[in-house]
Amino acid sequence: MPPSGTGPQVVYLIGHPVGHSLSPAMQNAAFLACGLAHRYEPRDVDPADLEAAVGSLRADGVLGANVTVPHKERILGLLDAVAGDALRIGAVNTIVREGTELLGENTDRGGFEAALRDARVDVAGKRVLVLGAGGAARAIVIALAASGARVAVANRTPDRARRLAEAFGVGAVAWPDESALAVDVVVNATSAGLYGEDPLAGMALPAGTAVVDIVPTAAETPLARRAREAGNTVVDGLLMLLHQAAASFRLWTGQDAPLEAMRAALPRVV
């Protein structure tokens, strides 16, 4: 749906914290490239203030919002409607205002699929190990299962991996040891890497295993760096960030995103 209202509007990024986010640079570059006077502003919202913050999005002058940790799941109950993918994933990362109504969407699945296409990684029929069982992992498992991959999920808290696997009809395995990494693709969908952690610390990566690390950081994550240095195929978290942002831009503006302008606003070439 095209946006409500005309003239310059604001898109908020609602999270806690939001200071480290790379989205404002990308989205503001996109507005500029399209000649739109909209602006994208991070807004740190404490969980106690989430309801009031959502209420304020209904005002004229607001085009929509992005939602990030820790609000992506709780916000579902505060919106007027939630799109099918976001309902299945159980998380909203994009809000579009239509009049005074707020529609919740999730662009993580599409962003992940587009990042794989962009990096020319084909997962059909391949063995894929997904690390993590949060909102991002759910979006990714849905995407992988729809692409015909043979998916297994592992999580630090194994019960969550089992529940996710049951919900989406994929396998659940124990947190991997080195031998379990001998698959076609490993996806890091945990938050380990955001502050320099390596979820597979101490484990060598088999030569043929492609690594998708969705953690989007200004500097390469330790996992992505050592995989790249060892010669493995690597899909960087910034690539998924770019494509999920492009999908959000399309939802707010009704226009195709200026992908290269957004890519150029990222801190590294991906």
Determine which one of 15, 50, 62, 72 is catalytic. Answer: 72
Closer residue to ligand NDP in complex, CB, 54/224: 224
Q: Which of residues 3-62 bind ligand NDP (CB under 6 A)?
A: none
Provide the total of helices (H) and of strands (E) in the chain, helices listed first: 9, 12
Q: Which of 157, 166, 167, 267 binds ligand NDP (CB under 6 A)?
A: 157
Helix (H) or strand (E) holding 139: helix 135-146
Instruction: Find the distance separating the first CA and the last CA of the chain, reported in whole Å.
Output: 30
Catalytic-residue membership of 72: yes
Binding residue (CB under 6 A) for ligand NDP from 102, 240, 246, 247: 240
The smaller minimum CB distance to ligand NDP, of residues 64 and 237, is found at 237
State in angstroms the smallest separation of the CB of 237 from ligand NDP.
Answer: 4
Write b or e for each residue in 140-170: b if 16 or more Cβ atoms lie within 10 A of its Cβ, otherwise e. Answer: bbbbbbebebbbbbbbeeeebbbebbeebeb
Provide the minimum distance between the beta carbon of 92 and ligand NDP in the complex, in angstroms, as a whole number: 11
> What is the maximal distance between C-alpha atoms in the chain?
57
132 lies in the binding site for ligand NDP (CB under 6 A): yes
Q: How far is the CB of 87 from ligand NDP (least distance, A)?
A: 16
Contact predicate 220/236, CB 8 Å = yes
Residue 189 interacts with ligand NDP (CB under 6 A): yes or no: yes
The H-or-E segment that residue 128 falls in is: strand 127-131
Under the binding rule (CB under 6 A), the answer on residue 223 touching ligand NDP is no
Contact yes or no for 232/209 (Cβ under 8 A)? yes
Q: The tokens of 188 are what?
A: 């890091």
221 binds ligand NDP (CB under 6 A): no
Enumerate the active-site residues: 72
Positions in the binding site for ligand NDP (CB under 6 A): 69, 72, 108, 111, 132-137, 155-157, 160, 189-192, 194, 197, 199, 214-216, 237, 240-241, 244
